[in-house]
Structure 1
């Protein structure tokens, strides 16, 4: 359901509406993977995709097989994946080369090849819309924070330059050691938004990251500029918090409780789980 127009360059999503209409192309860096196979004399390759790209996995595996020597097995992880810390360690231990798509590394590892899958979507049209619709003008408030996700980091300098050319003072920083890039946010880490600005522009898809950011910094005006769906909104935590408090209120009538512990690396908090059990 893609819209094609000879009047607009690839990635220009103006006037495409709310639906995802852009047929995006990603750089899967297959040459980099084949080089690693050759260097390690590997006989097996494991591929892990985030949830939004799992359906593309078989096609990527087929393309990779055409480039690899006969006898090299390519396996695809079926485990859920929602972040760079969400690694399929079972598959990783059983393959010579392990490739994690869609995220930048939290920690470098010789065993893991991280392929961030940069998007080719043009970002300046949606930044322009955000300026017109939700950001304060430079005359009213020139200070603005700028953050994005791994998929759009290849356009980060373009975003910053576009804002600066129009009179904004753009505040960016790299959060902590878990963040690969300046201005990058994760679903569990919004330290890059801790800047001297009352308004923050988030450029990326979805509301998961900006809602978390708005909850972390409730005094900041968080503007969501989605370059894929061509939508500009404001992160509103009120509805989410009402739903959370409603769930908490309902749970107060429970007689017995269970504590769920996550075994995924980077997500498990065993000490906290034990403390909850001991104190309740």
Structure 2
């Protein structure tokens, strides 16, 4: 069974005055695209598939619009309006997670509920269960960058901060979003896997210690490459220009994909990341030299104290 709602997509594009369609999806959904493409061709449409890596709705394959009338992007929620782009999230069916493993780990009564796009629609059910156990759950409203209530992104933790809770409960797989939410809010975070029911306390001290070590390693650098992404939802040129005067030997570097080979070939002993905020936290181990976030660069250059550490985010 396809994760992509094929019949819904076919019905939707039938109502549009288009002939050529481009399809895009992240790695976990790419193999679904040929199935949809075949159905669309049977309906009389011309179809092309974007095969490039895709990391989110910040990474739209807008170059495909040179060959198509519309781009349909699957697996994320929209970050921006574009007259020729449809962004279709893939929502998992609503389910009530088992709470036996969670309840002993919660601290305080006011619990902020957060999730990714795939599971955000289950947060109201989770809230109902917590109320039965005497807790006061809070789900933050949608924002321009996170259109689902309670939704967090790897680059945006507004929903976590706005709960103003005693503790955060993250519903989802993996812990990256939970770690980011904990660093952004300085609140305790509990993660709950919606499939297995396993829960755990999310540790943020160790990631912060690793970031402190990266900053210290960067102190020997005499030149800095300030990375600006060419991707539509990640481009932060204004921020890069604000950071440029902080150090006399800094240069702005435009990149489409930030890879270890590119950083090695460019030759800077340290980089400042004004592309996807996840890069430093997620991929530092892959990079040959330190990659600092903008707040970390400010700490290095004496513009900010370590006690004033902030996780890098794109909030608008």
| Shared fold, TM over 0.5 | yes
Match of 1:204 among 158, 166, 172: 172
Match in the other structure for 1:47:
23
- Displacement of 1:262 in angstroms is 0.7
- SS of 1:155's equivalent in the other structure is helix
Match in the other structure for 1:130:
102
Match in the other structure for 1:105:
78
CA–CA distance in 2 between the matches of 1:153 and 1:43?
34
CA RMSD of aligned residues (A): 2.3
Match of 1:116 among 78, 89, 95: 89
- Displacement of 1:224 in angstroms is 0.8
- SS of 1:40's equivalent in the other structure is coil
CA–CA distance in 2 between the matches of 1:163 and 1:79?
42
Change (3 A) 1:175 1:34: closer
CA–CA distance in 2 between the matches of 1:275 and 1:82?
26
**Residue segments in structure 1 that go unaligned for 5+ positions in a row:** 1-24
**Pairwise mapping of residues 47-196 of structure 1 onto structure 2 (< 5 A)?**
47-51=23-27, 53=28, 56-69=29-42, 72-120=45-93, 122-125=95-98, 127-132=99-104, 134-136=105-107, 141-193=108-160, 194-196=162-164
Match in the other structure for 2:192:
225
- SS of 2:224's equivalent in the other structure is coil
Match in the other structure for 1:36:
12
Q: Is the 8 A contact 1:36 1:97 kept in 2?
A: no
CA–CA distance in 2 between the matches of 1:143 and 1:78?
44
TM-score (ref. length: structure 1): 0.79
Q: Is the 8 A contact 1:143 1:198 kept in 2?
A: yes
Change (3 A) 1:147 1:70: closer
CA–CA distance in 2 between the matches of 1:246 and 1:48?
38
Change (3 A) 1:235 1:205: same
Match in the other structure for 1:270:
237
CA–CA distance in 1 between the matches of 2:32 and 2:80?
28
CA–CA distance in 1 between the matches of 2:144 and 2:40?
35
Q: Is the 8 A contact 2:114 2:168 kept in 1?
A: yes
CA–CA distance in 2 between the matches of 1:250 and 1:109?
42
How many residues are aligned here? 246
Change (3 A) 1:272 1:212: same
- SS of 1:272's equivalent in the other structure is helix
CA–CA distance in 2 between the matches of 1:148 and 1:267?
21
- Displacement of 1:241 in angstroms is 1.4
- Displacement of 1:110 in angstroms is 4.3
Match in the other structure for 1:3:
none
Q: Is the 8 A contact 1:210 1:235 kept in 2?
A: yes
- SS of 2:119's equivalent in the other structure is helix
- Displacement of 1:108 in angstroms is 4.4
- Displacement of 1:123 in angstroms is 4.1
Q: Which has the higher contact order (CA 8 A, sep 6+)?
A: 1
- SS of 2:225's equivalent in the other structure is coil
Q: Is the 8 A contact 1:121 1:227 kept in 2?
A: no
Change (3 A) 1:248 1:185: same
